[in-house]
Amino acid sequence: MVTSVTSFGRSGLSDWLLQRVSAVILLAYVVFITASVWGGVDFVTWKALFSQTWVRIFSLLAVLSLAAHAWIGMWAVLTDYLTERLMGTKGNVLRIGFQILCSLTIFVYVVWSIQILWSY
Amino acid sequence: MLQVSIYRYNPEQDSQPYMQDIQVDTGGKDLMVLDVLEMIKSQDTTVTYRRSCREGVCGSDGLNMNGKNGLACITPLSETVKNNKLVIRPLPGLPVIRDLIVDMTMFYTQYEKVQPYLQNDTPAPAIERLQSPEDRAKLDGLYECILCACCSTACPSFWWNPERFIGPSGLLQAYRFLADTRDTATTERLAQLDDPFSVFRCHGIQNCVNVCPKGLNPTRAIGHIRNMLLSRAT
């Protein structure tokens, strides 16, 4: 058993499952948005689309899925390459630095997305 | 003449590893790579490698031949040589002790972690613990592993995290005991594996399947472990 406190769900299984579920949600959202803008879209139809509550909920679900998906993915990349094993103690500093940067960026994007979705 | 390029490193003499080019006369025969190494060693006795059974059973001579891991004793030249050139390196990712010999401690430490022995807390029967042929068949494709380390040292996840990711070989062995109906430690075994590294560093790229000299499928075994974890935890 390897202890880890920075992974998304602290459990490999929960991260693995969430990565798959969020991928399916994101795929569905990409299909939905592509279908919505297919053949052109103007401001009025775009605004009408996003004034519906279910579209906002679906969009928020997609944003939260993207946030979780991005964290799990970036965490795996950072713990592969920015490690004490590969870079010495510098690796630990770099990894924690990038983890803070990633989580902060994701947090800002999530709050910003909520603001955009419910602002008009 | 076959152009052979061998990884050489003697830490007592060399400041860093280097590749040595050697010409070998194979007499036009489709020899095994180990035969070529033996021919080279008969000329230069300082060339060092592990070998024992020379028939793909002991797993001693796992090497990287023209970029692909395999057992030198059962890899014919016709399978690996391209443009009359053969590049032989030690298994990647493990510390080199000398020439083609690697220190397999990290590999064995991961193997030890999965407790690769039968655990059964019920009283032992008078003769032996019997299995039905169907239950025994569940171990096919798992028990044949010879621990040559070709798979784990072909796995990037094991290269980056050899202390934390168990690796394809260890996980194949883990599933060998999870799948064994005589073993009663399934819950404890699975509890040891549900962290983000031990099993879940496997991203399913199947390098292990590609190189296994025994034709085993560690990726499938890892999938079975994941399904066992999933069905218990959801």
Determine the pLDDT at residue B178: 97
In this structure, are residues B114 and B183 in contact, taking their beta carbons and an 8 Å threshold? no
Determine the pLDDT at residue A4: 82
How do residues A62-119 score in pLDDT, each as one tens digit?
999 999 999 999 999 999 999 999 999 999 999 999 999 999 999 999 999 999 999 8
3-state secondary structure of A110: helix
ipTM value for the complex? 0.87
Angle, vertex CA A48, rays to CA A47 and CA A51, nearest 5: 85
A16 Cβ under 8 Å from any chain B Cβ: yes
DSSP state string for chain B: -EEEEEEE--TTT-SS-EEEEEEE--TT---BHHHHHHHHHHH-TT-----SSSSSSS---EEEETTEEEEGGG-BHHHH-BTTEEEEEPPTTS-EEETTEE--HHHHHHHHHT--S----SPPPSS-----HHHHHTTTTTTT-----TTGGG-HHHHH-TTT--HHHHHHHHHHHHS-TT---HHHHHHTT-STTTTTT-----HHHHH-TT---HHHHHHHHHHHHHHHH-
Determine the pLDDT at residue A29: 98
Domains of chain A by residue range = 12-117
Q: b/e string for B139-156 if b means 16 or more Cβ within 10 A?
A: bebbeebbbbbbbbbbbe
How do residues B19-68 score in pLDDT, each as one tens digit?
999 999 999 899 999 999 999 999 999 999 999 999 999 999 999 999 99
pTM above 0.80, yes or no: yes
Q: Chain B partners of A1 at a C-beta cutoff of 8 Å?
A: 191-195, 198
How do residues B108-146 score in pLDDT, each as one tens digit?
999 999 999 999 999 999 999 999 999 999 999 999 999
Determine the pLDDT at residue A82: 95
For chain B, what is the mean pLDDT?
96
Q: Chain A partners of B200 at a C-beta cutoff of 8 Å?
A: 12-13, 15-16
Compare all CA atoms of chain A with the CA of B165 and give the residue at the minimum distance. Answer: A2
Q: In Å, how far are A43, A60, A66, B112, B211 from A36, measured between CA atoms?
A: 13, 17, 20, 55, 46
**Type of residue numbered B14:** D
B199 Cβ under 8 Å from any chain A Cβ: yes
> What is the mean predicted confidence (pLDDT) over B61-90?
97
Q: CA-to-CA distance for B170 and B6, rounded, in angstroms?
A: 29
B130 Cβ under 8 Å from any chain A Cβ: no
A20 Cβ under 8 Å from any chain B Cβ: no
Compare all CA atoms of chain A with the CA of B227 and give the residue at the minimum distance. Answer: A13
How do residues A6-39 score in pLDDT, each as one tens digit?
888 888 999 999 999 999 999 999 999 999 999 8
Compare all CA atoms of chain B with the CA of A9 and give the residue at the minimum distance. Answer: B196
Residues written for chain B: 234
For chain A, what is the mean pLDDT?
94
Which structure tokens are listed for B203? 């991203």
B224 Cβ under 8 Å from any chain A Cβ: no
Determine the pLDDT at residue B211: 97
* Nearest CB to B230 within list A13, A15, A85: A13
Which residues lie closer than 8 Å to B184 by C-beta, 6 or more apart? B119, B120, B121, B122
Compare all CA atoms of chain B with the CA of A78 and give the residue at the minimum distance. Answer: B160
Compare all CA atoms of chain A with the CA of B226 and give the residue at the minimum distance. Answer: A13
How do residues B202-233 score in pLDDT, each as one tens digit?
999 999 999 999 999 999 999 999 999 999 98
**Architecture of the CATH domain A12-117:** Up-down Bundle (1.20)
Decide if pLDDT at B196 tops 90.
yes
Q: In Å, how far are A40, A115, B214 from A120, measured between CA atoms?
A: 21, 9, 62
* Nearest CB to A4 within list B197, B226, B233: B197
How do residues B154-179 score in pLDDT, each as one tens digit?
999 999 999 999 999 999 999 999 99
Q: Which long-range contacts (CB under 8 A, 24 or more apart) does A32-37 make?
A: A32/A58
Which structure tokens are listed for B192? 């040891």
A13 Cβ under 8 Å from any chain B Cβ: yes
- A3 contacts B196? CB cut-off 8 A: no
Nearest to A120 by CA among A43, A22, A51, A17: A51
Helix B218-233 vs helix A12-37: angle between axes, to the nearest 10 degrees?
90
Q: Chain B partners of A2 at a C-beta cutoff of 8 Å?
A: 164, 195-198
Which residues lie closer than 8 Å to B100 by C-beta, 6 or more apart? B6, B7, B47, B48, B49, B50, B63, B88, B89, B90
Q: Chain A partners of B205 at a C-beta cutoff of 8 Å?
A: none
The structure tokens 């400041």 sit at B15
Q: CA-to-CA distance for B109 and A81, rounded, in angstroms?
A: 22
Q: Chain A partners of B163 at a C-beta cutoff of 8 Å?
A: 85
Q: CA-to-CA distance for B61 and B148, rounded, in angstroms?
A: 8
Decide if pLDDT at A120 tops 80.
no
